[in-house]
Amino acid sequence: MQRPRALLWVMLLAAWEAAWGQLRYSVPEEMPKGSFVGDVAKDLRLQLPELSHRGMRILNKGRTQYFALDGKTGHLVTAERIDREQLCRLVEKCALRCELIVEGEMQVYRIEVEITDINDNTPSFKEIELEERISEMTAPGSRFPLPDAHDPDSGRNSLQSYELSGDEHFSLAVQTGPGGDQRPELVLAKALDREEAAFHELVLRAMDGGDPARTGTARIRVTVLDANDNAPVFSQAEYTVRVPEDVSVGSTLLIVTATDADEGVNGHVEYSLKKVSDRTSNIFHLDSESGEISVFRILDYEEGDSYELEVQARDGGGLFDAAKVTIIVTDVNDNAPEISMRSALSEISEDAPSGTVVALLHVEDHDSGPNGEVRCSLDGDVPFRLENSHGSYYRVVTARELDREQVSEYNVTVRAADGGSPALQSSAVLALRVLDVNDNAPVFAEERYSARLAENNAAGALVLTVRATDADWGQNARVRYRLSEGRVRGAPLSSYVSVQAETGALYALRSLDYEQVRELRLWVRAEDGGAPALSSNVSVLLLVVDENDNAPQVLYPPPAALRAGSAAAFEVVPRSAEAGYLVAKVVAVDADAGRNAWLSYELVQASEPALFRVGLHSGEVRTARAVSERDAAKQRVVAVVKDHGQPALSATATLHVVLAESLQEALPELSDRDAVSELMSDVNLILVVSLSIVSLLFVSTVIFVFFFKFRQSRKPPIFITSDKELYSTLGSKAPYNYCSSTLPLPYSYEVCLASESGQKDFTFLRPGAAAVPAGLQSADPGSGTHTGQDPPSPGSSGKASSPLAVVVSHSSLSKRSFQAL
């Protein structure tokens, strides 16, 4: 193309020259001022002097004076530095025209100066830093436009080629545009991988064809955009973790991790559980962000010993990985054995035989292995034992017979322990009440009871209370008291005493008289309410205590009341009697006992007080001094007989004494016949109940001899039968009493027993006689046959049932007294 164009220019120039006589020059741009352009003078064949005075001028077109003419040399020179790129930006051939006017000749010459290009510009890019973003997924061969460079020079000096350097992933392609311009393009030569290199630095060079060539560069930074080309990857394909079942809720079991090489959303991994049953999802919780698997609720080995989960890791681009998680639950001894009573008695009779089944219970432990092995036992020392019936069933049976009276209820504790370590245990209590059986008789608090009861008690007085307890329970322990049958003095015992059935209080039903009943022996029976009832007896002894309720009774001398209408008795004392002469003996009895019957005698009144004295205990009336002539013939002595009761009771005895040498002498002293008979009757009427057995053999023998002698020579003394009053006042017991307590022993008495009927049916008792008349013998208070109330049956004298009168006379006195009759 250049060559034809140049040729055209030559032809045109020649033509122009021919026609116009034009001058043509060329000069490179950017020449300094004054640089030579062409030798105008020579070319116009002008003489130099001519030239100078002909007045030659250069007339430039346009305002700027680019050229000037050097007058001396006739050379055309540059008047300015000329920049071709400035003068003719887009014009291929850049020429400046000017005219040379030769004034002398009036000639005009046209001069055309072509400005030729020099390589004074460098190709340049608009931006020297470029940023390119390319996805790593872009296919190789893809093209990306690059900015082109610019070089204002022309021709070879303008932009000629591009060059790319820096990275093997890229290459350069240059397209020629419609205007022939070059367009560089970036070609992806090799697939990118952001994960390998996220950035690529490239350098684009633009070169012109000058000599030397100039080069412009631009830096291109290729950023590789991430694509989701990496799936998450779990660190392990399978996770296995062992946890004890008692792991606390919320604790983390393990952390699954998956990594994704991508970045951003593509590299963001979320975890999820896949294919989980409801059951499992209730138990475990997977944190979607952290991958933590934690327990959501309490684990139970017995419920499930292992779990399999599938976890999935998914990135933002939807790529995923899955892994298997196996959670193995290990057993912990967290279950205590459970005891359940399947059936149980709440009551058992105390006579249930050994081996009676009381309860059936079931024991189980939800743990496994040794943790679930259960051993059962009973607590304490109880009369029960455990029997394994089968498997996990146990029976509680009685080991021996029970006794409600010892233990009335049991809390049997069944204990079950497993084999864990530490072992867990649990217990169940079996409450068992022992039912009563009437196996205990009432037992009296005392072995025997005795009580003392003062006589003359009020009827209904409480005597004592017996008490019996029964170890049984309820009705079986309800004790009732009853009096056993018996008789006292012919009357049923129940008329004397009664027992209150509920309380055991013993009451006297009537007033008791010691002189009649001295003691009561009875049995009280206690009986419980069982069926059959059990009972026991206890003996009760009631001792009647004497009270001083009987005054002493004077038997001799006969009391005045008994002598009513009859003569008084006299004692004859010889005037020759010395001091100490025994005048008489006051004989008194007291129906009471002990101190109440202990009598003492005192002289209270005497016509001649100094003459007599009375023995305090003996009752003997003796002369205190020798009788003198001055003493009156008739003397009266009053003695008082006192017992020792509290208060003491007393009686008086009046003794009439006649001081005479003989009874005949004394007779005048006795007022009349009546008096004598009265005396007789008084003497005979004295009824004595009690007789002291003469104890001293010596005395009785002497008396016996005397008695025998008198009996042969004399008629027996006449006894006057007693009247009823006397009889009744003494009672059948009297002789007994007198024998025991009242009469002093050194004296002997003649005793005559006479029946009341008045028949002369007397019996003498001789002192010391071995045989005691039946009547006396049977006068035992306990026999109860001789009561004062019982009327005598006629004709039965001498028999045990006959009331008897006993006459006692002082032998030494009666000898004299009766002689007088």
Ligand X SMILES: *[C@@H]1O[C@H](CO)[C@@H](O)[C@H](O)[C@H]1NC(C)=O
- Applying CB under 6 A, the residues found at the interface with ligand X are 409, 411, 431, 484, 523, 525, 537
Strands 393-398 and 384-390: antiparallel
Distance CA 439, CA 408 (A): 14
CB nearer ligand X, residue 171 or residue 537: 537
Tell me how far, at minimum, the Cβ of 403 lies from ligand X, in Å.
Answer: 14
CB nearer ligand X, residue 486 or residue 781: 486
Tokens of 786: 């001789």
Contact 114, 93 (CB under 8 A): yes
Distance CA 98, CA 168 (A): 57
CB nearer ligand X, residue 289 or residue 409: 409
Distance CA 540, CA 211 (A): 166
Tokens of 90: 């887009």
Distance CA 775, CA 762 (A): 13
Contact 358, 403 (CB under 8 A): no
Tell me how far, at minimum, the Cβ of 488 lies from ligand X, in Å.
Answer: 16
Tell me how far, at minimum, the Cβ of 452 lies from ligand X, in Å.
Answer: 23
CB nearer ligand X, residue 11 or residue 431: 431
CB nearer ligand X, residue 356 or residue 537: 537
Distance CA 681, CA 723 (A): 11
Tokens of 512: 């008791």
Please report, for residues 262, 268, 273, 312, 452, the alpha-carbon distance to residue 237 in angstroms, rounded to integers and kept in the order given: 20, 19, 15, 11, 109
Tell me how far, at minimum, the Cβ of 538 lies from ligand X, in Å.
Answer: 8
Element (H, E) at 5: helix 2-20
CB nearer ligand X, residue 347 or residue 409: 409
Element (H, E) at 726: helix 724-730
CB nearer ligand X, residue 523 or residue 581: 523
Q: Residue 400: which of 354, 349, 462 has the closest Cα?
A: 354
Tell me how far, at minimum, the Cβ of 431 lies from ligand X, in Å.
Answer: 6
Distance CA 28, CA 85 (A): 12
Tell me how far, at minimum, the Cβ of 437 lies from ligand X, in Å.
Answer: 19
Tell me how far, at minimum, the Cβ of 409 lies from ligand X, in Å.
Answer: 5
Tell me how far, at minimum, the Cβ of 255 lies from ligand X, in Å.
Answer: 52
Please report, for residues 358, 411, 415, 427, the alpha-carbon distance to residue 379 in angstroms, rounded to integers and kept in the order given: 16, 9, 7, 9
Tell me how far, at minimum, the Cβ of 498 lies from ligand X, in Å.
Answer: 16
Distance CA 144, CA 184 (A): 9
CB nearer ligand X, residue 525 or residue 622: 525
**What DSSP letter does each residue of 263-325 carry, written as one string?**
-GGGG--EEEEES--HHHHHHEEE-TTT-EEEESS---TTT-SEEEEEEEEE-TTS-EEEEEE
CB nearer ligand X, residue 346 or residue 662: 346
Q: Residue 155: which of 1, 14, 304 has the closest Cα?
A: 1
813 backbone dihedrals φ, ψ, rounded to 5°: -85, -45
Q: Residue 779: which of 737, 717, 732, 820 has the closest Cα?
A: 732
Tell me how far, at minimum, the Cβ of 433 lies from ligand X, in Å.
Answer: 9
Tell me how far, at minimum, the Cβ of 406 lies from ligand X, in Å.
Answer: 12
CB nearer ligand X, residue 288 or residue 484: 484
CB nearer ligand X, residue 294 or residue 537: 537
